[in-house]
Amino acid sequence: SIMPAVLSGIANGARNGILFKGGAYLETIGRLDVVAFDKTGTLTEGVPKVTDITAYGKYTETELLSIAASLETWSEHPIAKAIISLAKERNIELMPTTKLEAIPGLGVHGSVDGQECKIGKVDLIEGMTLSIKEKSTITDLEQQGKTVIFVKVEDEVIGLLAVQDTLRAQARESVDKLKQMGIKVVMLTGDSSSTAQIIGQEAGVDQVYAELLPEQKVEIIKTLGQNGKVAMVGDGVNDAPALAASSVGIAMGAAGTDIALETANVVLMADDLSKVSYAISLGRRSTRVIK
């Protein structure tokens, strides 16, 4: 019987900060072909900082930041936290908001001080025309691995903000280790493809899937799952459906949202990415899978 090996594998995992929610997941994790990482909060620390602010035309930097932070009070996204904390740091007053709505994977829109406003990625800011200079600014920022966020008031783009997140300390080493173990490593993100490519390169992943809406992350996981066993590693509210669609959903225990922890089959208690390869080795040993 393989039971004693599975039990001791689960106990070993628990001693090493890996919580398996059942023996079946220890077996499946030993047979993985692909590991898909979410970018923000999983491969990166998920605590972005605002690095650049550009106000166009008639709005000042302070006004731009005030509108941006007022909109972001309606979002739980790490980008929202970065913008609000910068506004607080600069003692910038927020404005009255009504009918605001956060759109997962895109941004926030609604009425700020009586005007229709939007903040978010380029897709949300439809009908935007940019000068050559503006385009090159955006390209420069994205080449630095920064995420560019646009702010629109009524029909006018009034400026942009860039935020930058830090790769987790163990990201590169953990990805390399998985590749050495014969596992394909991919990254999934809603971020723009140029920013995502830079972060993906730093982390050393085999493939980057960018500009994904939460439901498209699920589709990618399903497609990858057609040719083998796939694990999804994530932390956010948006990641729960992809965690559920994978063969083994793995959540970051400390940074993870309740819904991610609940949906996952395996939880990494200390957000230590090196535990992903450890869990796989444990699975391989416990079930004596020969790859």
Site for ligand ADP, rule CB under 6 A: 39-40, 72, 75, 77, 79-80, 102, 105-108, 119-121, 147, 149, 189-191, 236, 238
Single out the segment in contact with Mg ion by CB under 5 A; choices: 95-103, 234-242, 271-279, 282-290.
234-242
Q: How many residues make contact with Mg ion (CB under 5 A)? A: 5
232 contacts which partner out of ligand ADP, Mg ion, none, CB within 5 to 8 A by kind?
none
Least gap, CB of 154 to Mg ion (angstroms): 32
210 or 282: whose CB is closer to ligand ADP? 210
* 38, 235, 239, 271: the active-site residue: 38
Please report, in angstroms and rounded to a whole number, the separation of the first and last CA atoms in the chain. Answer: 21
Least gap, CB of 120 to ligand ADP (angstroms): 4
44 or 265: whose CB is closer to Mg ion? 44
Q: Is 249 in the site for Mg ion (CB under 5 A)?
A: no
Q: Is 75 in the site for Mg ion (CB under 5 A)?
A: no
Q: Is 40 in the site for Mg ion (CB under 5 A)?
A: yes
Least gap, CB of 138 to Mg ion (angstroms): 23
Least gap, CB of 39 to ligand ADP (angstroms): 4
Q: Is 38 in the site for Mg ion (CB under 5 A)?
A: yes
Q: How far apart are CA 251 and CA 103, in angstroms?
A: 23
Q: How far apart are CA 199 and CA 125, in angstroms?
A: 24
- Which residue in the block uniquely carries the two structure tokens 């898909």? 36
Least gap, CB of 169 to ligand ADP (angstroms): 19
Q: How far apart are CA 239 and CA 225, in angstroms?
A: 16
The DSSP secondary structure of 237-261, one letter per residue, reads GGGHHHHHHSSEEEEETTT--HHHH
30 or 234: whose CB is closer to ligand ADP? 234
149 contacts which partner out of ligand ADP, Mg ion, none, CB within 5 to 8 A by kind?
ligand ADP
Instruction: Write phi, then psi, for 241 (nearest 5 degrees).
Output: -60, -40
Q: Is 48 in the site for Mg ion (CB under 5 A)?
A: no
Q: What angle separates helix 171-180 from helix 274-287, to the nearest 10 degrees? A: 30
| Residue 13 to residues 6, 38, 250, Cα–Cα distance (Å) | 10, 22, 13
Measured from each CB, the residue nearest to ligand ADP is 190
Active site residue 38: yes
**Which positions are catalytic?**
38
Site residues (vs Mg ion, CB under 5 A): 38, 40-41, 235-236
